Structure 1
Amino acid sequence: MRCLFLLLVLLVPFGTVSHAQSRDALGEGRLFTNDFFGDGRDRYQTGSYVHSFVRGPSNWDRTPLEFGSIREYRLRSAIMASDGIGDAPGDRPYAGALSLGVHSHFGQDTFRGTVGVDVTAIGPQTGLSRFQERAHDQLGLAQVRFTDSQLGNAFHLGLTAEAAENVQLTDFITARPFAELQIGPEDVARFGADVVLGRNITSDILIRDVTTGHLYHGTETADSGFAFVLGADLAAVADSAYFPAERGVVATDRRGRLRAGMHWQSESDTSVFYGLSYLTPEFEGQPEGQLTGSLKLNFNF
């Protein structure tokens, strides 16, 4: 209850938009990430799903607006697992995380900013371990291990802020350098860039996935065609609730991500995204990084 109260207090600035300005649903964004679509090893950042609902002025003309005008309501789940040695000292403990938050997307000229707050629940209370066990049983996949020693129940209040700049290099190439700060379950400062090749998607509301860094659409224009996105970033990690000291596991203080993806949209508003991401080791003793795949399918009939 205390976390929910703090969330409501922090959301007061999001209510600064004039009541005379009507609001509407501007779009939805979603992204499913799983290492089944990557290296298929079922470990570490093994799966996540995020669903975003974007609302704003009904007369929005796709130009950037002031803080609080466009809001994204985000629901996200993630499962993190060991590589198979379970309770051994130094191995990553199993963890399920479920979060709910509100983020504002704003900007001016070529600048784009995002600020938001989330409440994240961790542990058996999320039901994610039971969901994964049932899903693996139904699909005939390997048994899920070490859920009986997963991280305990906890709540974390988090803040995320990102600043990005759209730099038009040519008619078909846009660079998007960014800096991001996360405080909550993990305290992370991150710097990186993405490059968009082909159809310019930067007038859309683009949302950065927490796990991979991929940019997924919260809104989409009527323009059809392909856009290829390449990205990379480096992060400094100050603290992480997913690597508790009492478990004998230590988070690395540096992380890196490399990613490549393709967006495609038809004139009938059917859109597809597929991307791959390489994630460097996240804890001391992790022998190698991992490859994950991300997928989005959107069909409007």
Structure 2
Amino acid sequence: MLDILMNKPLLALLAVLTLSTAPANAQEERVTLGWGRLFTNDVFGDTRDRWRTGSYTLSRVRGSEWLGHLPTTPGDILEFRAVGETIAPADLVSPDPDDRRYVGSLTFGLHTHFDWQGFDTSLGGNLVITGPQSGASNLQARIHDLVGLPEPQVFGDQIGDNFFPTAVAEISRRIALPQGEMRPFIEAQAGVEDFVRVGADLSFGGYTREALMLRDGPTGQRYRAVSGSRVEGFSLTVGGDIARVYDSEYFVAGDAAQLEQTRSRARAGIHWQGERSEMFYGLTWLGKEFITQPDTQVVGSVNLRVKF
């Protein structure tokens, strides 16, 4: 089973075949159903500016209509996703030789979300662009210069320019709870990082009710892309997962920093829904990702929508 999940060409082919099953007239009827976004930075968490230090995820969801639940046909709902991420050693000026290399990445993806025999299913493909060509290191250098921080010295030794086609799939099942729901899931990815992940998310309140929820890659936090019932008030989300990581292009053979084969995450968040505006704030604990990593870290995620 795991050999099938980690077969990169097979996963990429499955993604293409699935998306190609959309009805021929779907494109003519498709409209924008919603936008999802999530900004993550360790300044909102442990404030240490290291490792999985920052990311921004933006999703645009297209389809003919949203009825509060997933369609049964793959391709009816399409998500266009863009992600910018920065991964850094703990010290950008004088890095420890045992620390990981700097990574700047930019991802563009196409995913479809559908109901498969009662299971919420997501299947898609990404193109991950790494190195100076992603623009991440240039942007960070300008920010440091703007605020008067020392110039980073790690960009010359960062993970280099490359393109990594990446396939990802997730399947989950909703279990109703009093005033909420639990959602166990399994996820597999092959490409820039190869892993199989299992976990669960719990939510209490109206945040996820009849909404299309998407999963942020770096943190696992679920963010709302298409609104459902929009029940006013506060909602709580908690979750966690553990992954078996087989390979990662973010580490280089011969470096002291080598891949940890087990990767754990735990997260919690609070969402407020008003009559027209909403706000989300979440914290994610990230376990160690490489064998010389001296500590774990905590990052924070925010999403703010204000309508006047």
TM exceeding 0.5? yes
1:198 Cα deviation (Å)? 1.8
- Unpaired stretches in structure 2, ≥5 consecutive residues: 1-10
Q: Deviations over 1:87-116 (max 9, x none)?
A: 654320001010101010111575211011
Task: Name the counterpart of 2:257.
Answer: 249
The residue type paired with residue 253 of structure 2 is: A
1:10 Cα deviation (Å)? 5.2
Residues 1:295 and 2:302 are matched in the alignment = yes
The 1:267–1:108 alpha-carbon spacing in structure 2 relative to 1, beyond 3 Å, is: farther
2:69 equivalent among 63, 73, 79: 63
Residues 1:39 and 2:46 are matched in the alignment = yes
Contact 2:166 2:191 (8 Å CA) reproduced: yes
Residues 1:163 and 2:171 are matched in the alignment = yes
- Inter-partner Cα distance in structure 2 for 1:262 and 1:249: 35
Q: Deviations over 1:47-101 (max 9, x none)?
A: 000100000113x312221211101000001000001286654320001010101
1:218 Cα deviation (Å)? 1.1
The 1:284–1:9 alpha-carbon spacing in structure 2 relative to 1, beyond 3 Å, is: closer
Q: How many percent of aligned residue pairs carry the same amino acid?
A: 39
Task: Name the counterpart of 2:7.
Answer: none
1:227 Cα deviation (Å)? 1.4
- Inter-partner Cα distance in structure 1 for 2:68 and 2:24: 20
The 1:137–1:89 alpha-carbon spacing in structure 2 relative to 1, beyond 3 Å, is: closer
- Inter-partner Cα distance in structure 2 for 1:190 and 1:230: 17
60-69 or 233-242: which moved more?
60-69
2:114 equivalent among 76, 90, 106: 106
Q: CA RMSD in A?
A: 2.1
Contact 1:174 1:200 (8 Å CA) reproduced: no
- Inter-partner Cα distance in structure 2 for 1:200 and 1:132: 34
Task: Name the counterpart of 1:3.
Answer: none
Contact 1:123 1:151 (8 Å CA) reproduced: yes
Superposition pairs of residues 108-123 of structure 1, within 5 angstroms: 111-123=119-131
Contact 1:102 1:118 (8 Å CA) reproduced: yes
Q: Deviations over 1:254-298 (max 9, x none)?
A: 011010001222222x12110001101100110110010001111
Task: Name the counterpart of 2:161.
Answer: 153
The residue type paired with residue 70 of structure 2 is: P
Task: Name the counterpart of 1:277.
Answer: 284
Contact 1:47 1:79 (8 Å CA) reproduced: yes
1:14 Cα deviation (Å)? 1.7
17-26 or 257-266: which moved more?
17-26
The residue type paired with residue 161 of structure 1 is: A
SS at match of 1:249: coil
1:20 equivalent among 25, 28, 33: 25
- Inter-partner Cα distance in structure 2 for 1:285 and 1:96: 21
Contact 1:64 1:109 (8 Å CA) reproduced: no
The 1:164–1:8 alpha-carbon spacing in structure 2 relative to 1, beyond 3 Å, is: closer
Count residues in correspondence: 293
SS at match of 1:247: coil
1:286 equivalent among 288, 293, 297: 293
- Inter-partner Cα distance in structure 2 for 1:162 and 1:29: 18
The residue type paired with residue 64 of structure 1 is: L
The 1:18–1:249 alpha-carbon spacing in structure 2 relative to 1, beyond 3 Å, is: same
The residue type paired with residue 104 of structure 2 is: G
SS at match of 1:246: coil
Contact 1:236 1:254 (8 Å CA) reproduced: yes
The 1:202–1:236 alpha-carbon spacing in structure 2 relative to 1, beyond 3 Å, is: farther
1:185 equivalent among 186, 189, 192: 192
Task: Name the counterpart of 2:4.
Answer: none
Contact 2:207 2:231 (8 Å CA) reproduced: no
